Amino acid sequence: MSVLVPLGGDLPEESRALAEALRRLFDGLGISVRRYAARRHRDPGSLSRFLNGTRIPPWEFVHDLIRDVAEEQGRAPTPEAIELMRRLHRTALAYGGSALNRVQALEDELADADRQSLRSAALVRALEGALADTQQRATDLELQIRQLHGHQDRTAAEKNKALQLYEDQVTALLRERQDLMEQVEALGEELKDAHARRVRAERRCEELERQLVAAEEQVPQEDTVAEGPRAEPPAADGTRAVRPGPDGPRAGAPAADVPREAPSGERAPARHGLDPRFVFETFVVGDTNRFAHGAARAVAEAPATLYNPLFVYGTSAIGKTHLLCAIGHHAHRTRPGTRVRYVTAETLAHEYLGAGRGRGLDAFRRRYLDLDLLLVDDIQLLTGQGGAHEEFRRLFDELQGARKQIVVSSDRPPKQLAHLGDRLRGRLESGLITHVQPPERAVRVTLLRRKAEQEGIDVPPETLDHIASHVQRNVRELEGALVRVRAFASLNRQPMDVQLAAIVLRDLVPDRGPSREEDAARRIIEMTGGYFGVTAEALCGKERSRALVTARQMAMYLCRELTDLSTSRIGQLFGGRDHDSVDYADRKLRALMAERRSIYNQMTELTARIKAVDGPPTDRWV
């Protein structure tokens, strides 16, 4: 791999042009590929692929090669030559590279746009300086005119002549000033255009990064083929009456559906078991459920094309059923002919056992195989009695093979559902697995405010904030706490203030005294330091190396998220810093987690480690 081969005709023109330019530069060195690779500590194979046009090199390699040739020949490279190589490299990246290469090209364009913006801004400042000088000169001339008007020793003719001369000069300067102002306005428009191009480039980079992340998380077995022709709907279908459950509506005993007559050429939609309250518009999105909400949206808008199956897991009463029903409502609203069915795993097993054999089992299978979208809630409740596991696996295989969307929810990830068997668990793990975590404080406040508006009660914002900060496990406990506070206030005819909420919730919330919270914060500091290989004293010290600052900000963020300590107290634990430092760390980490997946992964892993530790703060993190 350390030899040069003739540039083949099957190479893209952009890659060939870049390779030819690189070869001409490399010939100026007068050494072999292997020797140059040893000098630059590079892989000879990679260097040969760069020069053979089969791989696009990074710009750092091209720049190093230009500099080495210049040193060898004893003269500096011209800006024109560097710009020519940059254009060739950018063109090769744009047309011959991967999605990551195109991101790099767009980032280069963004940097060029920034440089152009800086040059334009400098020119604007220069013009503004010239404008200020012109204005000063005009002011001086006007002062001279006033002085001449006050001069009484000269004759009227000489005065008029001098005044006319200076007035002409003022007119010319004012005209020049107007021209300069027009140039400034034109440059301002150019700055706006450059900023707009920069914004478009940033959005394109973000889109490509999201595509790359989705490609990394998407398993190879995912099917992206468009859905084929749909089968004709059955003449009738069975369903179950709806009863409330821990996460929302649950199916009950079977009941016969009355077939509705559909227009000619159109299928009668099935929306069995969907709670009308659970739609995307009423789902409160936060940091802990944003990814699950986005995945559910994608499945609802394009079933069986991205994530099939979609597996949503999380503890009870945090919105899993809401997401499943919202997918069904959205799919039916955007595609009215879609046949949707929501069912719990427990109900599915009961229907299978009640179907028996023969025609009953055939009707059971037709009822599910004729669906376009199957939503199965609480799959952990699916028992193996009577072969229910195997029957669901067969339904799963046939629906997936027919390009039909399957969405499953559970209170734990598939790998922990050992009672389902390896084959069924393998199928559940073949799609996208997303975790819905308990809502953060801002989302809890929003949920409480929305609940209060629905109930028509007026609750002060500070009371809602107090309830949200002390009830954190799930939405059901949160709403129950609000109901309890409201009932206590009504019975005692007292206002729903913070003091009353503290009294009511005293028996609901475990003791979290200051020492308890501070112990939790110190444990977070120790575990964060151990994760990054630094001491707790260093995290709380004054050193400001880049790696240490990031670790310190992560620890501050976790202390604020996982404890109820005030920002001032957290700052004191970190070497006497003020609350502004803690607020800044919180904002910085939220932005970094949204922009850089590595930070998000580190934060997720570190949070999981801290929550897994036994000790006093564990009930705070459940």
161 marked among binding-site residues: no
Question: What does the DSSP 8-state code read for residue 78?
Answer: P
Q: Which amino acid is at 80?
A: E
| DSSP-assigned letters across all residues of 589-617 | HHHHHHH-HHHHHHHHHHHHHHHHS-STT
Measured distance CA(327)–CA(309) in Å, rounded: 13
Measured distance CA(527)–CA(524) in Å, rounded: 5
* Nearest C-alpha neighbor of 424 from the set 433, 413, 414: 414
Sign of CA dihedral 34, 37, 41, 42: negative
Measured distance CA(315)–CA(473) in Å, rounded: 9
Q: Is 378 exposed, middle or buried (0-12, 13-18, 19+ CB in 10 A)?
A: buried
The structure tokens listed for 241 are 């009456």
In sequence order, the 6+-apart residues with CB closer than 8 A to the CB of 217 are 432
* Beta bridge partners of residue 407, listed in sequence order: 310, 375
Q: What is the dihedral of CA 441, 442, 443, 448, to 10 degrees?
A: 90
Measured distance CA(117)–CA(111) in Å, rounded: 10
Categorise residue 39: left if φ over 0, alpha if ψ from -120 to 50, beta otherwise. alpha
* Nearest C-alpha neighbor of 445 from the set 424, 423, 471: 471
In sequence order, the 6+-apart residues with CB closer than 8 A to the CB of 493 are none
Measured distance CA(449)–CA(465) in Å, rounded: 10
Measured distance CA(151)–CA(159) in Å, rounded: 9
* Nearest C-alpha neighbor of 101 from the set 151, 153, 59, 142: 59
337 marked among binding-site residues: no
Measured distance CA(122)–CA(118) in Å, rounded: 6
What b/e readout covers 49-87, taking b as 16+ CB neighbours within 10 angstroms? bbbbbebbbebebbeebbebbbeeeeeebeeeeeeebbe
305 marked among binding-site residues: no
In sequence order, the 6+-apart residues with CB closer than 8 A to the CB of 442 are 286
Pairing assessment for the beta strands 432-435 and 373-377 based on DSSP bridges:
unpaired
The structure tokens listed for 111 are 């940097």
Measured distance CA(179)–CA(397) in Å, rounded: 74
- As a three-state string, the secondary structure of 375-398 is EEECHHHCCCHHHHHHHHHHHHHH
319 marked among binding-site residues: yes
In sequence order, the 6+-apart residues with CB closer than 8 A to the CB of 300 are 280, 326, 327, 330, 331, 334
The structure tokens listed for 562 are 């996982």
- As a three-state string, the secondary structure of 255-294 is EECCCCCCCCCCCCCEEECCCCCCCHHHCCCCCCCHHHHH
SS3 121: helix
SS3 468: helix
Query: Annotated binding residues, as ranges?
Result: 317, 319-321
Query: Annotated binding residues for ATP, as ranges?
Result: 317, 319-321
